[in-house]
Amino acid sequence: ETGVTQTPRHLVMGMTNKKSLKCEQHLGHNAMYWYKQSAKKPLELMFVYNFKEQTENNSVPSRFSPECPNSSHLFLHLHTLQPEDSALYLCASRSGTSGSTDTQYFGPGTRLTVL
Amino acid sequence: KQEVTQIPAALSVPEGENLVLNCSFTDSAIYNLQWFRQDPGKGLTSLLLIQSSQREQTSGRLNASLDKSSGRSTLYIAASQPGDSATYLCAPQGPAFRYNFNKFYFGSGTKLNVKP
pLDDT tens-place string over residues B48-90: 999 888 899 999 999 999 999 999 999 999 999 999 999 999 9
A88 chain-B contacts, CB cut-off 8 A: 41
The SS3 assignment for A85 reads helix
Please tell me the predicted confidence (pLDDT) of residue B4. 93
pLDDT at res. B27: 87
Distance in Å, alpha carbon of A27 to nearest chain B alpha carbon: 15
pLDDT for B97: 57
pLDDT at position A97 is 62
Q: Cβ contact (<8 Å) for A2 and B45?
A: yes
Rounded to a whole number of angstroms, the distance from the CA of B104 to the nearest CA of chain A is 8
Partner residue opposite A96 with nearest CB, options B42, B43, B102 = B102
User: What is the maximum span of chain A, computed from C-alpha positions, in angstroms?
Assistant: 43
The answer to whether A89 and A21 are in contact (CB under 8 A) is yes
Contacts A90 to B, Cβ<8 Å: 43-44
Q: Considering only CB atoms, which chain A residues are within 8 Å of B49? A: 101-103
- Mutate which of B7, B42, B44 to disrupt the A interface (most A C-beta within 10 Å)? B44
CA–CA separation, B56 vs B63, rounded Å?
7
A56, B99 contact by CB (below 8 A): yes
Out of B36, B49, B107, whose CB is closest to A42? Answer: B107
Residue-level pLDDT at B94 = 73
> What is the pLDDT at residue A59?
87
Closest residue, chain B, to A5 (C-alpha): B43
The answer, yes or no, to whether residue B95 has pLDDT greater than 80, is no
Cβ distance of B43 and A94 shorter than 8 Å: no
Torsion on CA atoms B62, B34, A40, B42, rounded to nearest 10: 80
Q: How confident is the model at residue B9 (pLDDT cuts 50, 70, 90)?
A: very high
Cα–Cα distance for residue pair B39/B104, rounded to 1 Å = 19
Query: Which is more confidently placed, B1 or A8?
Result: A8
The model's pLDDT over B30-52, given as tens digits with 9 standing for 90+, comes to 888 999 999 988 889 999 999 88
The residue of chain A with its CA nearest to that of B50 is: A101
By C-alpha distance, the chain B residue nearest A109 is: B43
**CB-count exposure of residue A93 (10 Å: 0-12, 13-18, 19+):** buried
Per-residue pLDDT of chain A (115 residues; tens, 9 = 90+): 459 999 999 999 998 889 999 999 999 998 899 999 998 788 999 999 988 888 888 889 999 999 999 989 999 999 999 999 999 999 999 886 655 567 889 999 999 999 9
